Chains A and B, each alone.
Chain A
Amino acid sequence: QKEVEQDPGPLSVPEGAIVSLNCTYSNSAFQYFMWYRQYSRKGPELLMYTYSSGNKEDGRFTAQVDKSSKYISLFIRDSQPSDSATYLCAMSEGGSYIPTFGRGTSLIVHP
């Protein structure tokens, strides 16, 4: 079992839909949780950075962490074709500088 599991997709949704992207993990020491967006042939772009359990909202994006279930989610409201990209989850232990990345989920938002 990998430390971080993420369904590679692709996930195809119509414009305007609410998108839910998820990761599960096995290491209970993870405390920092991140979501990155990566467009084709570009570098990952940090979207959200959260510590411990709870929700964090930024515009159309909401990151949710459930440490008891070892499950994190990224919600995208009112999805746009420009949101089409690969979304990578990443997480690290407290005091660690090396995040563990998921494989990424490919999202396609069609007009």
Chain B
Amino acid sequence: NAGVMQNPRHLVRRRGQEARLRCSPMKGHSHVYWYRQLPEEGLKFMVYLQKENIIDESGMPKERFSAEFPKEGPSILRIQQVVRGDSAAYFCASSPMLGEQYFGPGTRLTVT
């Protein structure tokens, strides 16, 4: 039973480019969450999605960031016009219902 999959594992983008991060939840999980982790800081919630619905995006910056979880395919976190401050580890988690969340290995985004 494969765990949560994220790709790419490492992503380098120049300032102003777009970053697309993908997450495939565990089999049978219909809830997906995105978090950002900066050095010396805890995990910060960004957005919670179910299939074709954004349930809560209260932790997501209002501009440049968007997320989707289509009926088919992985969840995608998109960052447009990246800036150096977007450099961080982005983690996706999934759960079958409210409660226990299982994390993927993360995507480390570096903006040069």
Contact = CB atoms under 8 A, between A and B. Distances in A.
Interface of A: 4, 6, 8, 32, 34, 36, 41-46, 49, 88, 90, 95-99, 101-104
A97 B35 CA distance: 13
B42 A103 contact: yes
B74 interface: no
Contacts of A41: 106, 108
Given A43-B91, A97-B48, A97-B56, A88 B43 contact: yes
Contacts, number: 54
- Tell me whether chain A's interface is mostly helix, strand or loop, or mixed: loop
Interface of B: 4, 6, 31, 33, 40-45, 48, 55-56, 59, 91, 95, 98-106, 108
Given A97-B33, A97-B98, 9 more contacts: A6-B42, A8-B40, A41-B106, A43-B103, A43-B105, A44-B43, A98-B45, A98-B59, A101-B42
Contact of A103 (B31, B40, B100, B106): B40
14 contacts: A42-B106, A43-B104, A43-B105, A46-B100, A46-B102, A49-B99, A90-B43, A97-B56, A98-B45, A98-B48, A98-B56, A101-B43, A103-B40, A103-B41
Contact of B42 (A46, A88, A96, A97): A88
Given A97-B33, A97-B56, A97-B98, A102 B42 contact: yes
B100 A49 contact: yes
A32 B99 contact: yes
Contacts of A98: 33, 45, 48, 56, 59
Contact of A99 (B41, B101, B104, B108): B101
Lowest 6 A-B CB distances belong to which pairs?
Answer: A43-B103, A101-B42, A101-B43, A103-B42, A43-B105, A44-B103
Nearest to B91: A43
A108 to B, nearest CB: 17
Contacts of B95: 97
A46 to B, nearest CB: 6
B102 to A, nearest CB: 6
